[in-house]
Structure 1
Amino acid sequence: MDLLYRHRVLSGSFSCLTTIILLLGSPLGSMEAGGNETDQLALLEFKAQITDPGGVLSSWNDSSHFCEWYGVKCGHRHRRVVVLNLQSNNLLSVVPPHIGNLSFLRQVNLGSNSFHSKIPSEFSRLLRLQKLFLDNNSFSGQIPSNLSRCSNLLVLVLNYNMLEANLPAEFSSLSKLRALAIEVNNLMGNIPPSFGNLSSLQLFATTRNNFGGTIPETLGQLRNLQGLSLGSNKFVGTIPISIFNISTMTVLYVEQNQLKGALLSDLGFTLPNLKEIDLGDNHLTGPIPESISNASNVDYFSIPSNNFTGKVPSFSKMRGLYWFSIGYNNLGSGQSADLNFLCSLTNSTKLKLLDIGDNAFGGPLPNCITMWVNNISGNIPSEIGNLNKMSRMDLAGNNFSGHIPDSIGYLSMLIELFLEDNNLHGSIPSSLGNCQKLLLLDLARNNLSGNIPQEIVGLSSLSIYLNLSRNSLTGSLPREVEKLKNLDELCLNGNRLSQQIPSSISSCTSLERLYLQDNFFEGPLPSTMSSMRGLQVLNVSNNQLSGQIPEYLASLNLTNLSLSYNNFEGALPTQGVFKSSISTSVVGNKKLCGGLPDFQLPKCKYEESKLKRISRTAKIMISTVSASVGAACILSLSYFFWLRHNKNAPASSFSEDGLLRISYHSLLKATNGFSSINLLGVGSFGSVYKGLLDQTQSIVAIKILDLTCRGASKSFIAECEALRRIRHRNLVKVLTACSGFDFNGNDFKALVYEFMSNGSLDEWLHPSASQYTEKSKLSLLERVNIATDVACALDYLHHHCDTPMVHCDLKPSNVLLDDEKSGHVGDFGLARFLPEEMHKLLTNQSSSIGVKGSFGYVAPGVGSAISIEGDVYSFGVLVLEMFTGKKLTNDMFENGLNLHRYTNAALADQVEKVIDPILLQENQESENGQTLTPDGKNKSWFRTLECLVSIIEIGVTCSSESPRERMDISDALNKLQGIKKKLLEFIVIA
């Protein structure tokens, strides 16, 4: 009977439960009336010793025969229990030893519950037992070695527990065992070489444990083995040659270990049935075997982050290939034929991911597609338009030349297009207007010319950013710009655009950043821009704008304004952004006057009649000051042009794209030598400091990566990639990044964030003794606001990015609060983009793909895989922590009790007992301070409790142990917004 492995497991595991049932499952006998007193007594004892919050065992009573009880099946020939299936029922307890009295049991499934403590040794008495599922619980201690007495055992599944110590060597006697799955535990030691005697074994899965040593050569004796998953452990040495001779193998995962050596040259012939292979994150060397083309069934090929070299062979026979990842190796030679293998992938019509970045590929691009940061040259072929299912295309940072082909407009599914930093020329094809799903378009820093097509600025789908900066575009900005109503950022700087800025730009109501500097725009700023209330950054410097500076600029929420080197005249406003000479630049406007003293502008002239009364001395002084100011302006203007044309500008200057360039020296100075006084916190991959940047005189948060930590560099890359592609008001904004060397020549990487003055949510929920004050607690409304902000951020990541993103590490310390205590989700070092196909796969099947996150916030069982459901679980725990005030490490949480179970048990009629007391005290008194009921609780108190019950229900549902029971984050967001509205109504009424 075939073992089916059609789902993907990125960290080297796959859904054991479904697979094993398909593998082994002929139907068991149906129930029959009758029974045996021994079995009945054993079941009743079992029920008596466990906690059953859902009442699923209520049918276990004398009103019916035990063969008709929930989860119980009896055999045809005997009135004895043969199956006990209590999976996913929230049962809580130590498994009672009485289970060993059910001597006719053939299958036990206690998976996805809350059983804890040790696995009882009494299972060894079940000599007829064939299938044992104890996965997704909290079992600890050793795996009982006496399970080896169950000589008929076919399936043993212990995934997602807290089991430790070694794997019992006694299991090698289980000659009938077909599936052994022990993923995501704390097991250690070596794999016993005697496991080579398990001649019937078809599935062996050990992903996410602490096994070490070498992989036993004896595993090559398992001639029936179809799936081998050894990923995310500590194995060293080489992959045994014998394993590559198991012709039945369909799935091989050994990723994230410390394996070395080369692959066998005839791998494709010795593993002809191979479908999925993941060797990523090891130290493997040598070439990719050319024989791999013989393994025509391969649909998942992943070998990133190794040291593979040489030419990439053909993959033309792999028509079902949907995942191809060879990035972060040393493949290629910088020659013209390096990328020919891409054409062999044109037969792979199901291809969803193609990753060849960070290799040594060179030469022109054939009629295919690739990723960013290589040295690829030549023209972009017109055949690229045939990739009509492409949703994201990134060709940035190469040496492409020639025109952008018109055929690119055929990519109707395109969501993001990156062509920046190449040598492209000619006009922007108007056919891009056909890409009606485009959210982001970046054509910056090329040699493009001609007018901006009205079809481009008329793409109403653009919402992240449109970047056409640093080209040679001419003509006016089309009035169709008014259709960009959802756009966050528009970059047109560094071109030759002229005429007036169209008044229709005021329709871009979502615009936060507008860069129009270094062009030839003329005339006044449109008065209609007064309605652009979301605008935060406006740079129109070095144009030919004229007229008075509009007063409405002072009423906008601008944090950075540059009007320098234009022809503005008249009085400078003194309110809003004009209060700061750091946030506002007006140099090079010779006819400006007034303003605050820091701007050092001349005073505005009085009426002629008043001037006549000024003394001769005053006139001389005015003349002297005017001459000085004029000289200063000339010097400033000279200095400005010197800066623009100086190719050796300091590292700590503004880059062409408007981002601040930051050097190691700048950050060293900003943090006073990374002083402990400025230390804000320490995380998994580095430390965060508070700093003051000289360039902007602004306070920022600076994350210094500890590159000695394994994964720190990847975390830096992941966070840069995530923050480059996402933008939302409830996500912490990254201002810039630094990647270079310190003064000792060591690698140095840092990220600079917007500083959040109110620190982390964790500091407010659990202040230290030195932090605690009477005002250090968050109010109910503040907590609801923050929970809503976090839900809004997750909703954006899960549903409104072009590719769903999973944060993977949501917890209070990663939620930061600004001046108004609005919540911002930060730390994307573990975040992962989830392609649509992978999203569907993970939603429908169990997996342990790269389980990441922090203890207590990571979902148990299959929900801990990289999936949006895992994020929802973390959010649910966070909500419960916010409104109970209970820390996850509280001493009360032991023996299987956790925050979810604690609050869930109180939902029926005792919610007020688990709520943070300060939230109920807020509304315990009436307006005049007198209580309205004998127990001191007024109507407002009961209304507050009603809202709190709804919030706790959200937290409990989101943190359900079964992913299927969790609500979608968009539903949680809607419910929280409704609660917030109700709370505000209560406040108004009060």
Structure 2
Amino acid sequence: MLFLSNNSFSGEIPSNLSYCSNMIFLDLGFNMLKGNLPTELGSLSKLRTLILQVNSLMGNILPSSGNLSSLQEFASSENNFSGMIPETLGQLRNLNFLDLFGNKFVGTIPISIFNISALAWLDVGENQLEGGLPSDLGFTLPNIKIINMGNNYLTGPIPESISNASNLEEIQFYQNDFTGKVPSFSKMRGINWINIQFNNLGGEQSTDLDFLCSLTNSTKLKVLGISGNAFRGLLPDCISNLSTTLSQFWLADNHISRTLPYGIGSLINLEILQIQGNHISGNIPSEIRNLNKLKILDLSQNKLSGQIPESFGNLSMLIHLDLNSNNFRGSIPSSLKNCQNLLFMSLSTNNLSGYIPPEIMGLSSLSIYLDLSQNSLIGPIPKEVGKLQHLGELRLDGNKLSQHIPSSIGSCISMERLYVQDNFFEGPLPSLMSSMRGLQVLNVSNNQLSGQIPKFLESLNLTNLSLSYNDFEGALPIGGVFRSAILTSIVGNKKLCGGLPDFQLPKCYYKESKQKRISGIAKILISSISALVGVACILSLLYVFWFRRNKNASASSSSEDGFLHVSYHNLLKATCGFSSTNLLGVGSFGSVYRGLLDQTQSVVAIKTLDLTCDGASKSFIAECEVLRRIRHRNLVKVLTACSGFDFNGNDFKALVYEFMSNGSLDEWLHPTTSQYTERNKLSLLERVNIAIDVACALDYLHHHYEMPIVHCDLKPSNVLLDDEMNGHVGDFGLARFLPEATHKLLVDQSSSVGVKGSFGYVAPEYGAGSAVSTEGDVYSFGVLVLEMFTGKRPIDDTFENGLDLHRFTKAALADRVEKAIDPILLQEIEELEKRRTIAPEGKNRSWCSIKDCLVLIIEVGITCSFESSKERMGIYDALTKLQGMRKKLLEFIVIV
């Protein structure tokens, strides 16, 4: 036996392997081998298993393969083999596993292969094969379990005889040109996967879908895909009797008509239901509320009517909801607020009316797409739109919306495309839209907007801007997107002037009256006085902060200022005397306990400072100063602080935070033996979401506060996870305000040498005495990303001779990225790989799609953790790349 798989071998297969005449097992899979197969291998008459999959081998499969008389397993998928499949393969009477998937074979499938009665697995998918299938296929392959012929050019009917292949578990005939009626599957009780999508099956009106009723005895059926055919008639009521194990049901792009059967609510384990592109009419049956495991529901491009059911609120697992291009009327149900996992929602091109529910506009989970366009919605855009911080595209065009565009939309910092044209919006574009630095397309045409065109539009990365048919006035900017009359549309604004010549606007003429000049002087005086008053206010606030910080805060639990006040006694009681049973963790400057506050009856996390530690008091002050100023959904929220004395008269300081029920990221990445039984493993998508959450938090700290804030101690133990596995950055004990001079005014923590951080996460320049910078946080973020996806700590026991996490992943990226990936993720990817062929579009998208995503993630981690701070990627760019990668990943997950 010779096991040589997954070793990055390159070059050609040596012909002298044929000298190993007694070899029974040869595995060369998952390497980088190229060239033709040596014909000498055909002499290995005792060989039982030959595995060549996932290489770059080419030419013909062994013409002498008929001599491999003992061969039982032959896997050569995902290579570049070409030419005809040799007829001699049919001489291998002991062959039970034949995998030729993903090559360049042409011609017909040799009839001899269909006569190998021992064959249990036949995979010739993703080639260029043509011709039909033998009519007696079901009789000549009595032991067949898996048959994949997807994505070829096969024609003719699916043989009726296939109904006799009672051992079949999986049928993959997708993306060919099969025609006619689908045979009965009634004898296939063990079948779990049927994919006959994208052919030309059906076309015989009312009887087209009768074969669905033959599956009611198939108790293991999980996936049923019939999309993209010519099926007509109605969906039979018998689908209510399909197995409750069914998790994916694909019916899209046929000619199915009439109403949805009420019995569809019986398929309680459905996760994907896609019926778009048919002629389904009537109301959505209320029984759909029973499908509470649905993740993807697509009923778009049908003739459905009535109201969108309130029962959709029961579908709390939904991540993708598409109801566009139907005849729905009435208001958008507010119950959709319960769908807290939604990433994509389209309700466009219906007859919906009424106001946009604030709860729907504020669904912060939406990160890919929200489309409410082409309806009859009225009123303003709810201010809750600011919660869509991760949304990529928002479409509200073609409604009857009015009033001002809310300034809160400026919080949508990840938005790339915004369409609000063809409404009745008025007033100026809000200045806070300048924060939408990811915006590429903005269309506000055909409204009643007024005022000057904001200069900040020049600084955005816009590739398409439409301001047409509004009431904008004044000078047209000349920078950024305004350099191109092709990319920018301004027609229908009669009061505009200036701009570049291509816009053909009149010149701007300015007349400044005496009254305006006097007014200008008055404004300068008012501004100066305001500045002096502002300075006085700041000094007063600083005095109040100093006074309150040094005051004994052991008093009452409530106050007129509206903030929760707690004493040492309150916290002692909340933690049962700071009992070890409530201890959550120990850090550099103290311990964190779980507690139950009497005042609010809520569970909280209480961080007590060990004031005997050097720097603990400064850490407390720094954290108070930062946390009282910042607010962001991905930062741990501080509820209150306590600064006083314990019962022995010793100084006591503590911070009280919101409790994060899922603990720290570190506990998930490196669980102890006991934690393995208590928690599930982090999935690929969960890790991506957490990485994006952390990047969002850093982007806010670095770019969206009045002065940059550097965290200085970013690591997995300082990333906490809430009920929904959202990431929150905590522990600001080492945080710094920039510029440094401003920070020194607030807190005496000016020494750059005093920066501690955590070993393995601290930027290299800090060790050389460099000043604190946002680039230092980016370095820590890069290390954290690499740790999340490799499962290795930055200083791992397996690293030797100067190797570290950055160098380890960089080397793997240049070789095979999967060598560096956490084995837990590789197991998950293998599961996704098994479902690859249900994908209705693209060839072999599974591993390639996920590998592309993993490469991008590792590249972000590597680029952020470069030794030179000048070479590091900015946190906003890292965030943008990760969000783009998540979209690709979600598109793939939606498909499979």
Instruction: Give me the whole-angstrom Cα distance separating, in 1, the residues matched to 2:92 and 2:812.
Output: 47
| Letter paired with 1:167 | T
Structure 2 residue corresponding to 1:229, chosen from 89, 99, 121:
99
Q: How far 1:313 moved relative to its partner? A: 3.6
Structure 2 residue corresponding to 1:325, chosen from 195, 202, 209:
195
In the alignment, what sits opposite 2:36? 164
In the alignment, what sits opposite 2:349? 445
Instruction: Give me the whole-angstrom Cα distance separating, in 2, the residues matched to 1:503 and 1:433.
Output: 23
Q: How far 1:286 moved relative to its partner? A: 1.9
Instruction: Give me the whole-angstrom Cα distance separating, in 2, the residues matched to 1:558 and 1:234.
Output: 43
Q: How far 1:271 moved relative to its partner? A: 3.5
Contact preservation (8 Å) 1:452, 1:473: yes
Q: Secondary structure at the match of 2:809?
A: helix
Q: Secondary structure at the match of 2:336?
A: helix
Q: How far 1:461 moved relative to its partner? A: 0.7
Q: Measured at CA, do residues 284 and 394 of structure 1 come closer, stay the same or move farther in structure 2, by a change above 3 Å?
A: same
Cα deviations by residue, 1:328-367 (Å, 9 ceiling, x for unpaired): 3211217355445556668878777655443323445566
Cα deviations by residue, 1:252-293 (Å, 9 ceiling, x for unpaired): 112244444333445345444433211123332222234545
In the alignment, what sits opposite 1:492? 396
In the alignment, what sits opposite 2:159? 289
Contact preservation (8 Å) 2:298, 2:322: yes
Q: Measured at CA, do residues 558 and 217 of structure 1 come closer, stay the same or move farther in structure 2, by a change above 3 Å?
A: closer
Q: Measured at CA, do residues 609 and 579 of structure 1 come closer, stay the same or move farther in structure 2, by a change above 3 Å?
A: farther
Any residues of structure 2 matched to 1:347-362 within 5 Å, and which?
Answer: 355-362=225-232
Q: Does 1:280 align with 2:150?
A: yes
In the alignment, what sits opposite 1:64? none
Instruction: Give me the whole-angstrom Cα distance separating, in 2, the residues matched to 1:521 and 1:594.
Output: 25
Contact preservation (8 Å) 2:399, 2:422: yes
Structure 2 residue corresponding to 1:254, chosen from 119, 124, 142:
124
Instruction: Give me the whole-angstrom Cα distance separating, in 1, the residues matched to 2:290 and 2:419.
Output: 34
Q: Does 1:142 align with 2:47?
A: no
Q: Measured at CA, do residues 215 and 387 of structure 1 come closer, stay the same or move farther in structure 2, by a change above 3 Å?
A: farther
Q: Provide TM-score, normalisation by structure 1.
A: 0.46
Q: Does 1:370 align with 2:250?
A: yes
Instruction: Give me the whole-angstrom Cα distance separating, in 2, the residues matched to 1:464 and 1:284.
Output: 37
Instruction: Give me the whole-angstrom Cα distance separating, in 1, the residues matched to 2:103 and 2:461.
Output: 51
Q: How far 1:377 moved relative to its partner? A: 0.7
Instruction: Give me the whole-angstrom Cα distance separating, in 2, the residues matched to 1:402 and 1:245.
Output: 55
| Letter paired with 2:425 | F
Q: Measured at CA, do residues 460 and 298 of structure 1 come closer, stay the same or move farther in structure 2, by a change above 3 Å?
A: farther
Q: Measured at CA, do residues 306 and 109 of structure 1 come closer, stay the same or move farther in structure 2, by a change above 3 Å?
A: closer
Instruction: Give me the whole-angstrom Cα distance separating, in 1, the residues matched to 2:338 and 2:186.
Output: 32
Q: Secondary structure at the match of 1:506?
A: helix
| Letter paired with 1:358 | G
Instruction: Give me the whole-angstrom Cα distance separating, in 2, the residues matched to 1:579 and 1:261.
Output: 56
Q: How far 1:489 moved relative to its partner? A: 1.6
Q: Which has the higher contact order (CA 8 A, sep 6+)?
A: 1
In the alignment, what sits opposite 1:587? 491
Q: Measured at CA, do residues 256 and 513 of structure 1 come closer, stay the same or move farther in structure 2, by a change above 3 Å?
A: closer
| Letter paired with 2:81 | N
In the alignment, what sits opposite 2:776? none
Q: Secondary structure at the match of 2:403?
A: strand
Unaligned segments of structure 1, at least 5 residues: 1-106, 115-135, 612-794, 803-906, 910-945, 986-990
Contact preservation (8 Å) 2:192, 2:222: yes
Q: Secondary structure at the match of 1:979?
A: coil
Contact preservation (8 Å) 2:295, 2:318: yes
In the alignment, what sits opposite 1:561? 465
In the alignment, what sits opposite 2:87? 216
Instruction: Give me the whole-angstrom Cα distance separating, in 2, the residues matched to 1:949 and 1:171.
Output: 47
Q: How far 1:951 moved relative to its partner? A: 5.9
Q: How far 1:483 moved relative to its partner? A: 1.6
Any residues of structure 2 matched to 1:336-485 within 5 Å, and which?
Answer: 336-339=206-209, 341=211, 355-364=225-234, 369-370=249-250, 372-375=252-255, 376-379=278-281, 381-382=284-285, 383-397=287-301, 403-485=307-389
Instruction: Give me the whole-angstrom Cα distance separating, in 1, the residues matched to 2:60 and 2:340.
Output: 55
Cα deviations by residue, 1:491-539 (Å, 9 ceiling, x for unpaired): 1111222233233323322223221110122344334434434434322
Q: How far 1:415 moved relative to its partner? A: 2.3
Contact preservation (8 Å) 1:342, 1:369: no
In the alignment, what sits opposite 1:958? 813
Cα deviations by residue, 1:609-641 (Å, 9 ceiling, x for unpaired): 999xxxxxxxxxxxxxxxxxxxxxxxxxxxxxx
Q: Measured at CA, do residues 453 and 231 of structure 1 come closer, stay the same or move farther in structure 2, by a change above 3 Å?
A: same
| Letter paired with 2:43 | F
Q: Measured at CA, do residues 217 and 512 of structure 1 come closer, stay the same or move farther in structure 2, by a change above 3 Å?
A: closer
In the alignment, what sits opposite 2:757? none
Q: Secondary structure at the match of 2:391?
A: coil
> Could you tell me the percent identity over the aligned residues?
53
In the alignment, what sits opposite 1:881? none
Q: Secondary structure at the match of 1:417?
A: strand
In the alignment, what sits opposite 1:513? 417
Instruction: Give me the whole-angstrom Cα distance separating, in 2, the residues matched to 1:452 and 1:347.
Output: 45
Instruction: Give me the whole-angstrom Cα distance separating, in 1, the residues matched to 2:216 and 2:814.
Output: 43
Cα deviations by residue, 1:159-187 (Å, 9 ceiling, x for unpaired): 45335255348637x2x543233444646
Which range moved further: 475-484 or 203-212? 203-212
Q: Measured at CA, do residues 489 and 197 of structure 1 come closer, stay the same or move farther in structure 2, by a change above 3 Å?
A: closer
Q: Measured at CA, do residues 578 and 342 of structure 1 come closer, stay the same or move farther in structure 2, by a change above 3 Å?
A: same
Q: Provide TM-score, normalisation by structure 2.
A: 0.51
Q: Does 1:600 align with 2:505?
A: yes
Instruction: Give me the whole-angstrom Cα distance separating, in 2, the residues matched to 1:955 and 1:532.
Output: 33
* Superposition RMSD in Å: 4.5
Q: Measured at CA, do residues 413 and 541 of structure 1 come closer, stay the same or move farther in structure 2, by a change above 3 Å?
A: same
Instruction: Give me the whole-angstrom Cα distance separating, in 2, the residues matched to 1:162 and 1:555.
Output: 50
| Letter paired with 2:444 | V
| Letter paired with 2:395 | C
Instruction: Give me the whole-angstrom Cα distance separating, in 1, the residues matched to 2:194 and 2:344.
Output: 25
In the alignment, what sits opposite 1:22? none
Any residues of structure 2 matched to 1:688-703 within 5 Å, and which?
Answer: none
In the alignment, what sits opposite 2:436? 532
Instruction: Give me the whole-angstrom Cα distance separating, in 1, the residues matched to 2:368 and 2:409.
Output: 16
Contact preservation (8 Å) 1:957, 1:965: yes
Unaligned segments of structure 2, at least 5 residues: 240-247, 256-277, 517-682, 691-798, 823-853, 873-896
Contact preservation (8 Å) 1:513, 1:538: yes
Q: Secondary structure at the match of 2:426?
A: strand
| Letter paired with 2:179 | T
Any residues of structure 2 matched to 1:670-709 within 5 Å, and which?
Answer: none
| Letter paired with 1:203 | E
In the alignment, what sits opposite 2:753? none
Q: How far 1:310 moved relative to its partner? A: 1.4
Instruction: Give me the whole-angstrom Cα distance separating, in 2, the residues matched to 1:583 and 1:391.
Output: 38
Q: Does 1:202 align with 2:75?
A: no
